[in-house]
Amino acid sequence: MQNKLFIPYILIIGLLFSCKPSIKNDTTKNKIKKTLDIPIFNSDSAYFFVEQQVNFGPRVISTKAWQNCSKFLVEKLNSYNADVQIQEAPITTYDGKNHILKNIIASFSTEKNNRIALFAHWDSRHVADHDSVNTNQPILGANDGGSGVGVLLEIARNISLKNPAIGIDVILFDAEDYGQPENSTYPLMSNSWCLGSQYWSKNPHKKNYFAKYGILLDMVGGKNAKFWQESTSSYYAPNVLKKVWNTAHQIGYSDYFVFRLSPQIMDDHYYVNTLAAIPTIDIIEFDPLTKTNFNKHWHTHSDNMNNVNKKTLKAVGQTVLNVIYSE
């Protein structure tokens, strides 16, 4: 008698349990589907893009290598079906020289108003002021300059294969690294760094241009690099910083992206934040063990291909891809 009463209950409970997992499965499926839609960042490809830039030689403003590299970047971005513009502007550097700088801007899905800007600098430093030899010679800037551009070219290649929901602008600044050396005998010039971003921030490539946020990549190829949360980024764009660092941790790059605050760094994002008012973070290596707090090869002749690491390029590139394809 008791057994007979239990049977319908067991059936109902059983039914409830069998329903639950099927709902769960659906959400799991959606999650998996979302992850599968995000392209895979190819670090061999990004590394090769760094190598191609470095092979031109130091990309110092007005030199032949700089000219050749600008052509390469424009052709490459055009081949990815971006709308490419070169923004030219006259500048005077701290040493009293006059040049015409070139910011290279590649826009995807220009019809979309909802946009994200990705920044890097494509020039390399004209002196090796942190080296003990050949201090007056320009550097290759494989990490300092080359790595950020290499990662962005690989992201552009992925965008050309599959469009994200949001519009993307890849903006490569010139003359970031022509800043006045500490021991310079020229009169002190303020704002001598980041000349390309200062110009663009005051004169965006498009009337009323706006992006909901920006991400700057600078020195993203050092071996075992640590990316701390830089203070200017955390002041102007705390939510972007959280979004990017959380994404990195979710996909397994917590060794690279550290939830600790590092001091302010004068870099292109400072001008994008203060002059263009686009909340922008800087993903930049921070090394508390070096005197400069940058990578130990910073502004030396050993900033070459031997010190560019594919795993670091992958950690940064995949994180940024996940962020933009989740928008």
As a whole number of angstroms, the distance between CA 86 and CA 238 comes to 31
Buried b (16+ CB within 10 A) or exposed e, 148-162: bbbbbbbbbbbbeee
CB of 315 to Zn ion, least distance (A): 21
Our CB check for Zn ion shows the closer of 141 and 164 to be 141
- Where in 141-170 is the site for Zn ion (CB under 5 A)? 144
As a whole number of angstroms, the distance between CA 257 and CA 146 comes to 20
Our CB check for ligand AHN shows the closer of 168 and 217 to be 217
Cα 133 to Cα 94, 128, 157, 186: the distances in Å are 23, 8, 38, 21
As a whole number of angstroms, the distance between CA 207 and CA 194 comes to 22
Our CB check for ligand AHN shows the closer of 25 and 264 to be 264
Binding of ligand AHN by 144 (CB under 6 A): yes
Strand, coil or helix: 272 = helix
Q: Candidates 103-111, 195-203, 230-238, 264-272: pick the segment binding ligand AHN (CB under 6 A).
A: 264-272
Our CB check for ligand AHN shows the closer of 146 and 204 to be 146
The separation between CA 234 and the C-alpha centre of its own chain, rounded to angstroms, equals 16
> Could you tell me how many helices (H) and strands (E) the chain has, helices first?
9, 8
Our CB check for ligand AHN shows the closer of 61 and 82 to be 61
Our CB check for ligand AHN shows the closer of 21 and 263 to be 263
Torsion 63-64-66-70 (CA) sign: positive
Residue nearest to ligand AHN (CB): 266
Cα 34 to Cα 90, 223, 251: the distances in Å are 46, 31, 13
**Which of 129, 154, 267, 303 touches ligand AHN (CB under 6 A)?**
267
As a whole number of angstroms, the distance between CA 295 and CA 273 comes to 24
CB of 304 to Zn ion, least distance (A): 14
As a whole number of angstroms, the distance between CA 116 and CA 324 comes to 8
Q: Candidates 84-92, 221-229, 244-252, 259-267: pick the segment binding ligand AHN (CB under 6 A).
A: 259-267
**Which of 177, 285, 287, 303 touches ligand AHN (CB under 6 A)?**
177
Structure tokens at 255: 């060794």
Structure tokens at 18: 């069998």
Site string for ligand AHN, 207-236 (x = CB under 6 A): -----------x------------------
As a whole number of angstroms, the distance between CA 124 and CA 145 comes to 6
Q: What is the DSSP string of 22-79?
A: HHHHHHHHHHHHHHHTSPPP-HHHHHHHHHHHHTT----TTSHHHHHHHHHHHHHHHH
Binding of ligand AHN by 285 (CB under 6 A): no
If binding means CB under 6 A, how many residues of this protein chain bind ligand AHN? 7
**Which of 123, 131, 154, 177 touches Zn ion (CB under 5 A)?**
177
Q: Candidates 54-62, 241-249, 262-270, 304-312: pick the segment binding ligand AHN (CB under 6 A).
A: 262-270
Our CB check for ligand AHN shows the closer of 159 and 220 to be 220
CB of 266 to ligand AHN, least distance (A): 4
**Which of ligand AHN, Zn ion, none interacts with 267 (beta carbon under 5 to 8 A by kind)?**
ligand AHN
Are 102 and 70 in contact by the 8 Å Cβ rule? The answer is: yes
Binding of ligand AHN by 174 (CB under 6 A): no
**Which of 49, 173, 193, 271 touches ligand AHN (CB under 6 A)?**
193
Residues that bind Zn ion in the complex, under the rule CB under 5 A: 125, 144, 177
**Binding residues for ligand AHN (CB under 6 A):** 144, 177, 193, 218, 265-267
